[in-house]
Structure 1
Amino acid sequence: MNIYKPAGFWIRLGAVLLDYLIISLPLAIIFMLITGKDPNDSTFISVILTVYSIVLPVYWNGYVIGKKICGIRIVKKDGSQVSFLTMILRVLVGGLIYGVTFGIAVIVSAFMVGIREDKRSIHDFVAGTYVTYARPEDGMEKSE
Protein backbone atom coordinates (compact mmCIF):
# COMPACT_ATOMS: atom_id res chain seq x y z
CA MET A 1 0.00 0.00 0.00
CA ASN A 2 1.35 3.40 -0.98
CA ILE A 3 0.52 6.44 1.11
CA TYR A 4 0.51 9.83 -0.57
CA LYS A 5 2.00 12.74 1.44
CA PRO A 6 1.28 11.40 4.96
CA ALA A 7 1.02 13.93 7.79
CA GLY A 8 3.22 13.31 10.82
CA PHE A 9 2.88 13.68 14.56
CA TRP A 10 3.52 17.40 15.11
CA ILE A 11 1.17 18.72 12.42
CA ARG A 12 -1.57 16.35 13.58
CA LEU A 13 -1.05 17.43 17.19
CA GLY A 14 -1.23 21.06 16.07
CA ALA A 15 -4.52 20.39 14.28
CA VAL A 16 -5.99 18.75 17.40
CA LEU A 17 -4.89 21.69 19.56
CA LEU A 18 -6.43 24.16 17.11
CA ASP A 19 -9.69 22.20 17.12
CA TYR A 20 -9.65 22.34 20.91
CA LEU A 21 -9.07 26.10 20.96
CA ILE A 22 -11.57 26.91 18.21
CA ILE A 23 -14.36 24.39 18.89
CA SER A 24 -14.11 22.65 22.27
CA LEU A 25 -13.02 25.50 24.51
CA PRO A 26 -15.61 28.07 23.30
CA LEU A 27 -18.33 25.40 23.43
CA ALA A 28 -17.38 24.56 27.01
CA ILE A 29 -17.35 28.23 28.03
CA ILE A 30 -20.76 28.89 26.42
CA PHE A 31 -22.16 25.76 28.08
CA MET A 32 -20.84 26.86 31.47
CA LEU A 33 -22.21 30.39 31.09
CA ILE A 34 -25.67 29.16 30.06
CA THR A 35 -26.08 26.26 32.48
CA GLY A 36 -23.68 27.12 35.31
CA LYS A 37 -22.54 23.47 35.26
CA ASP A 38 -19.06 21.99 34.85
CA PRO A 39 -18.59 21.37 31.10
CA ASN A 40 -16.33 18.37 31.83
CA ASP A 41 -19.36 16.47 33.11
CA SER A 42 -21.48 17.26 30.05
CA THR A 43 -22.71 14.44 27.86
CA PHE A 44 -24.23 17.14 25.65
CA ILE A 45 -20.82 18.59 24.78
CA SER A 46 -19.38 15.11 24.19
CA VAL A 47 -22.19 14.31 21.75
CA ILE A 48 -21.73 17.60 19.87
CA LEU A 49 -17.97 17.06 19.56
CA THR A 50 -18.46 13.46 18.44
CA VAL A 51 -20.99 14.48 15.78
CA TYR A 52 -18.63 17.28 14.66
CA SER A 53 -15.77 14.76 14.33
CA ILE A 54 -17.87 12.32 12.31
CA VAL A 55 -20.00 14.58 10.11
CA LEU A 56 -17.70 17.46 9.13
CA PRO A 57 -15.00 15.33 7.42
CA VAL A 58 -17.67 13.56 5.36
CA TYR A 59 -19.04 16.83 3.99
CA TRP A 60 -15.81 18.83 3.93
CA ASN A 61 -13.39 16.54 2.01
CA GLY A 62 -11.83 14.98 5.11
CA TYR A 63 -11.25 18.25 6.94
CA VAL A 64 -12.24 19.44 10.39
CA ILE A 65 -11.42 23.05 11.23
CA GLY A 66 -8.03 22.35 12.85
CA LYS A 67 -6.93 20.09 10.01
CA LYS A 68 -8.09 22.61 7.39
CA ILE A 69 -5.99 25.35 9.02
CA CYS A 70 -2.97 23.00 9.09
CA GLY A 71 -3.54 21.88 5.49
CA ILE A 72 -4.08 18.19 6.29
CA ARG A 73 -7.11 15.96 5.88
CA ILE A 74 -8.43 12.44 6.45
CA VAL A 75 -8.80 10.09 3.48
CA LYS A 76 -9.36 6.37 2.97
CA LYS A 77 -6.33 4.15 2.29
CA ASP A 78 -7.06 4.30 -1.44
CA GLY A 79 -7.10 8.12 -1.33
CA SER A 80 -10.86 8.43 -1.73
CA GLN A 81 -13.23 10.54 0.34
CA VAL A 82 -14.23 9.28 3.81
CA SER A 83 -17.79 8.08 4.43
CA PHE A 84 -20.02 8.10 7.51
CA LEU A 85 -19.12 4.47 8.24
CA THR A 86 -15.41 5.25 7.91
CA MET A 87 -15.67 8.17 10.31
CA ILE A 88 -17.84 6.22 12.78
CA LEU A 89 -15.17 3.52 12.88
CA ARG A 90 -12.40 6.10 13.22
CA VAL A 91 -14.05 8.18 15.95
CA LEU A 92 -16.25 5.79 17.93
CA VAL A 93 -14.42 2.47 17.64
CA GLY A 94 -11.04 4.18 17.87
CA GLY A 95 -12.24 6.10 20.92
CA LEU A 96 -13.55 2.90 22.48
CA ILE A 97 -10.15 1.26 22.05
CA TYR A 98 -8.46 4.25 23.66
CA GLY A 99 -10.92 4.18 26.57
CA VAL A 100 -10.73 0.42 27.17
CA THR A 101 -6.94 0.59 27.32
CA PHE A 102 -7.09 3.53 29.77
CA GLY A 103 -5.17 5.74 27.32
CA ILE A 104 -2.27 3.38 26.72
CA ALA A 105 -3.37 3.00 23.09
CA VAL A 106 -3.21 6.80 22.71
CA ILE A 107 0.48 6.68 23.60
CA VAL A 108 1.03 3.75 21.22
CA SER A 109 -0.79 5.69 18.48
CA ALA A 110 1.40 8.76 19.05
CA PHE A 111 4.50 6.61 18.60
CA MET A 112 3.00 4.98 15.50
CA VAL A 113 2.38 8.37 13.88
CA GLY A 114 5.85 9.54 14.84
CA ILE A 115 7.76 6.43 13.79
CA ARG A 116 5.88 4.59 11.05
CA GLU A 117 6.62 5.55 7.45
CA ASP A 118 2.89 5.71 6.61
CA LYS A 119 2.17 7.78 9.80
CA ARG A 120 -1.01 5.77 10.57
CA SER A 121 -2.35 5.46 14.12
CA ILE A 122 -4.58 2.84 15.70
CA HIS A 123 -7.79 4.66 14.75
CA ASP A 124 -6.47 4.98 11.18
CA PHE A 125 -5.99 1.20 11.01
CA VAL A 126 -9.45 0.56 12.47
CA ALA A 127 -11.10 2.80 9.87
CA GLY A 128 -8.77 2.18 6.93
CA THR A 129 -7.72 5.83 6.75
CA TYR A 130 -4.68 8.05 6.90
CA VAL A 131 -4.04 11.76 7.25
CA THR A 132 -2.47 13.50 4.28
CA TYR A 133 -1.20 16.86 3.08
CA ALA A 134 -2.73 16.13 -0.34
CA ARG A 135 -5.56 18.47 -1.23
CA PRO A 136 -8.74 17.07 -2.82
CA GLU A 137 -7.77 18.62 -6.16
CA ASP A 138 -4.35 16.88 -6.12
CA GLY A 139 -5.86 13.70 -7.54
CA MET A 140 -4.19 11.40 -5.01
CA GLU A 141 -1.86 9.70 -7.50
CA LYS A 142 0.32 7.56 -5.28
CA SER A 143 4.00 7.10 -5.82
CA GLU A 144 6.14 4.06 -5.05
Structure 2
Amino acid sequence: MSNVAGFWVRLGARVLDALLIGMVIGTLVFVFRMDTESRLTQAIESVASILYFVLFPTFVYGYTVAKRLLNIRIVKKDGTDVNLSTMVLREVLGGIIYAVTFGLALIVSAFMVGLRKDKRAIHDLIAGTYVTHDRAEHWE
Protein backbone atom coordinates (compact mmCIF):
# COMPACT_ATOMS: atom_id res chain seq x y z
CA MET A 1 0.00 0.00 0.00
CA SER A 2 1.38 3.35 -0.97
CA ASN A 3 0.57 7.00 -0.48
CA VAL A 4 -2.49 6.34 1.70
CA ALA A 5 -5.11 9.06 2.11
CA GLY A 6 -5.96 10.21 5.62
CA PHE A 7 -9.11 11.05 7.49
CA TRP A 8 -9.74 14.67 6.50
CA VAL A 9 -9.36 14.28 2.74
CA ARG A 10 -11.56 11.18 2.80
CA LEU A 11 -14.20 12.95 4.89
CA GLY A 12 -14.05 15.95 2.57
CA ALA A 13 -14.61 13.75 -0.47
CA ARG A 14 -17.57 12.03 1.16
CA VAL A 15 -19.16 15.35 2.11
CA LEU A 16 -18.63 16.78 -1.40
CA ASP A 17 -20.09 13.64 -2.98
CA ALA A 18 -23.11 13.83 -0.64
CA LEU A 19 -23.63 17.47 -1.62
CA LEU A 20 -23.44 16.53 -5.30
CA ILE A 21 -26.00 13.76 -4.88
CA GLY A 22 -28.20 16.11 -2.85
CA MET A 23 -28.05 18.75 -5.57
CA VAL A 24 -28.99 16.25 -8.28
CA ILE A 25 -31.87 14.82 -6.22
CA GLY A 26 -32.95 18.31 -5.17
CA THR A 27 -33.07 19.39 -8.82
CA LEU A 28 -35.14 16.32 -9.74
CA VAL A 29 -37.49 16.98 -6.83
CA PHE A 30 -37.92 20.59 -7.98
CA VAL A 31 -38.34 19.81 -11.69
CA PHE A 32 -40.80 16.96 -11.15
CA ARG A 33 -42.46 18.62 -8.13
CA MET A 34 -41.93 15.57 -5.98
CA ASP A 35 -42.85 15.47 -2.30
CA THR A 36 -39.60 15.52 -0.32
CA GLU A 37 -41.24 13.63 2.53
CA SER A 38 -42.57 10.79 0.39
CA ARG A 39 -41.12 7.34 0.74
CA LEU A 40 -40.69 7.17 -3.02
CA THR A 41 -38.47 10.26 -3.05
CA GLN A 42 -36.44 8.94 -0.13
CA ALA A 43 -36.11 5.54 -1.82
CA ILE A 44 -34.93 7.18 -5.06
CA GLU A 45 -32.31 9.15 -3.11
CA SER A 46 -31.11 6.01 -1.32
CA VAL A 47 -30.88 3.96 -4.51
CA ALA A 48 -29.13 6.81 -6.36
CA SER A 49 -26.56 7.11 -3.55
CA ILE A 50 -25.85 3.40 -3.48
CA LEU A 51 -25.53 3.23 -7.25
CA TYR A 52 -23.25 6.27 -7.31
CA PHE A 53 -20.90 5.00 -4.60
CA VAL A 54 -20.81 1.45 -6.04
CA LEU A 55 -20.84 1.98 -9.80
CA PHE A 56 -18.90 5.20 -10.28
CA PRO A 57 -15.67 3.89 -8.69
CA THR A 58 -16.14 0.57 -10.50
CA PHE A 59 -16.11 2.18 -13.92
CA VAL A 60 -13.88 5.22 -13.26
CA TYR A 61 -10.75 3.62 -11.76
CA GLY A 62 -11.77 3.99 -8.11
CA TYR A 63 -12.79 7.63 -8.34
CA THR A 64 -15.99 9.42 -7.45
CA VAL A 65 -16.41 13.00 -8.62
CA ALA A 66 -15.15 14.39 -5.30
CA LYS A 67 -12.35 11.86 -4.97
CA ARG A 68 -11.14 12.92 -8.42
CA LEU A 69 -11.28 16.59 -7.41
CA LEU A 70 -9.28 15.83 -4.26
CA ASN A 71 -6.88 13.47 -6.07
CA ILE A 72 -7.67 10.33 -4.11
CA ARG A 73 -9.12 7.02 -5.23
CA ILE A 74 -10.11 3.60 -3.96
CA VAL A 75 -7.91 0.65 -4.92
CA LYS A 76 -7.61 -2.97 -3.91
CA LYS A 77 -5.01 -3.78 -1.30
CA ASP A 78 -2.62 -4.92 -4.05
CA GLY A 79 -2.99 -1.53 -5.81
CA THR A 80 -5.18 -2.75 -8.68
CA ASP A 81 -8.47 -1.18 -9.71
CA VAL A 82 -11.63 -2.04 -7.80
CA ASN A 83 -14.40 -4.06 -9.42
CA LEU A 84 -18.14 -4.38 -8.85
CA SER A 85 -17.95 -7.11 -6.21
CA THR A 86 -15.30 -5.18 -4.30
CA MET A 87 -17.42 -2.03 -4.27
CA VAL A 88 -20.58 -3.93 -3.26
CA LEU A 89 -18.69 -5.38 -0.29
CA ARG A 90 -17.21 -2.01 0.59
CA GLU A 91 -20.31 0.16 0.27
CA VAL A 92 -23.32 -2.14 0.74
CA LEU A 93 -22.03 -4.62 3.32
CA GLY A 94 -20.07 -1.87 5.05
CA GLY A 95 -23.20 0.29 5.11
CA ILE A 96 -25.28 -2.54 6.56
CA ILE A 97 -22.73 -3.02 9.33
CA TYR A 98 -22.79 0.71 10.10
CA ALA A 99 -26.60 0.69 10.18
CA VAL A 100 -26.92 -2.48 12.32
CA THR A 101 -24.51 -1.04 14.90
CA PHE A 102 -26.46 2.27 14.90
CA GLY A 103 -23.37 4.14 13.70
CA LEU A 104 -21.00 2.81 16.37
CA ALA A 105 -18.94 0.94 13.75
CA LEU A 106 -18.81 4.14 11.69
CA ILE A 107 -17.29 6.00 14.65
CA VAL A 108 -14.80 3.17 15.13
CA SER A 109 -13.97 3.39 11.41
CA ALA A 110 -13.31 7.12 11.68
CA PHE A 111 -10.82 6.47 14.48
CA MET A 112 -9.26 3.67 12.46
CA VAL A 113 -8.65 5.98 9.50
CA GLY A 114 -7.30 8.64 11.83
CA LEU A 115 -5.04 6.38 13.90
CA ARG A 116 -4.01 3.34 11.86
CA LYS A 117 -0.83 3.55 9.82
CA ASP A 118 -2.60 2.05 6.77
CA LYS A 119 -5.63 4.40 7.23
CA ARG A 120 -8.08 1.56 6.52
CA ALA A 121 -11.64 1.62 7.90
CA ILE A 122 -13.93 -1.33 8.59
CA HIS A 123 -15.38 -1.17 5.06
CA ASP A 124 -11.83 -1.19 3.64
CA LEU A 125 -10.94 -4.29 5.67
CA ILE A 126 -14.12 -6.06 4.52
CA ALA A 127 -13.49 -5.31 0.84
CA GLY A 128 -9.69 -5.50 0.83
CA THR A 129 -9.32 -1.87 -0.25
CA TYR A 130 -7.63 1.34 0.77
CA VAL A 131 -7.72 4.95 -0.39
CA THR A 132 -4.61 6.37 -2.04
CA HIS A 133 -3.32 9.63 -3.47
CA ASP A 134 -1.74 7.65 -6.35
CA ARG A 135 -3.32 8.51 -9.70
CA ALA A 136 -4.83 5.86 -11.93
CA GLU A 137 -2.38 4.97 -14.70
CA HIS A 138 -5.32 4.84 -17.14
CA TRP A 139 -6.33 8.41 -16.29
CA GLU A 140 -3.12 10.20 -17.30
Q: TM-score, normalised by structure 1?
A: 0.88
Change (3 A) 1:39 1:70: farther
Instruction: Describe how 1:111-126 pairs up with structure 2 within 5 A.
Output: 111-126=111-126
Q: 2:10 corresponds to which residue?
A: 12
Structure 1 gaps of 5+ residues are 139-144
Deviations 1:52-88 (A, max 9, x none): 1111111111000010000000000000010100000
Q: 2:26 corresponds to which residue?
A: 29
Answer whether contact 1:31 1:39 (CA < 8 A) is retained: no
Structure 2 gaps of 5+ residues are none
- CA-based RMSD: 1.6
Q: Secondary structure at the match of 1:75?
A: strand
Q: Secondary structure at the match of 1:134?
A: coil
How far does residue 46 in structure 1 lie from its aligned partner after superposition? 0.7
Q: 1:141 corresponds to which residue?
A: none
Q: What number of residue pairs does the alignment pair up?
A: 135
Superposition misfits of 4+ residues, deviation over 6 angstroms: none
- Give, in whole Å, the separation in 1 of the partners of 2:95 and 2:114: 19
Instruction: Describe how 1:57-136 pairs up with structure 2 within 5 A.
Output: 57-136=57-136
Q: TM-score, normalised by structure 2?
A: 0.91
Deviations 1:82-130 (A, max 9, x none): 0100000001000000000000011000000000000000000010000
Q: Identical aligned pairs, as a percentage?
A: 47
- Give, in whole Å, the separation in 2 of the partners of 1:101 and 1:68: 30
How far does residue 38 in structure 1 lie from its aligned partner after superposition? 1.6
Change (3 A) 1:38 1:74: same
Q: Which amino acid aligns with 2:29?
A: M
